[in-house]
Amino acid sequence: MENGKDKFLSICESITLKVLSNSNLHLVSVDLPVANTLEDATGLRLRFSSKILSSEIPLLITITVQGKCNEDLNLTVKINCEETVFGLNLLNRIANFMVETSSSAS
């Protein structure tokens, strides 16, 4: 643990701050992985919820983490939404700001 802070908590905070600062979403749940080593973040999953304001249609965003805590992490973003075009646009937006913020942090 770096500076006494849990690595999984740091990863969750980082992802959540990026998502919540760019979209009007709510963090619904966090699934923590069960692994043999505390360095493996594979399986960490964050779920966000919201609704399309114009139509009140709900949507669910799931971000799954793969990789070791001390290496670059791979994120998988899945969006469940009845409006396909809106869902694809939101997916592109999330992918863009996740890439922008991670590359500027390097």
The pLDDT, as a whole number, for residue 77 is: 93
C-alpha to C-alpha distance for 51 and 82, rounded to whole angstroms: 11
Q: What is the pLDDT of residues 34-83, one digit of tens each?
A: 877 788 999 999 999 999 888 889 999 999 999 998 899 999 999 999 99
Q: What is the pLDDT of residues 82-104, one digit of tens each?
A: 999 999 999 998 888 888 755 54
Domain definitions of the chain by residue range: 7-105
Q: Which CATH number fits domain 7-105: 3.30.310, 3.30.390, 3.40.50, 3.30.200?
A: 3.30.310
Q: What is the pLDDT of residues 13-34, one digit of tens each?
A: 999 988 888 778 899 999 998 8
The pLDDT, as a whole number, for residue 60 is: 95
The pLDDT, as a whole number, for residue 3 is: 59
Closest CA to 42 of 53, 52, 51, 31: 31
Tokens 């973040």 sit on residue: 41
The pLDDT, as a whole number, for residue 100 is: 73
Q: What is the CA radius of gyration of the chain?
A: 15
Is residue 1 predicted with pLDDT exceeding 70? no
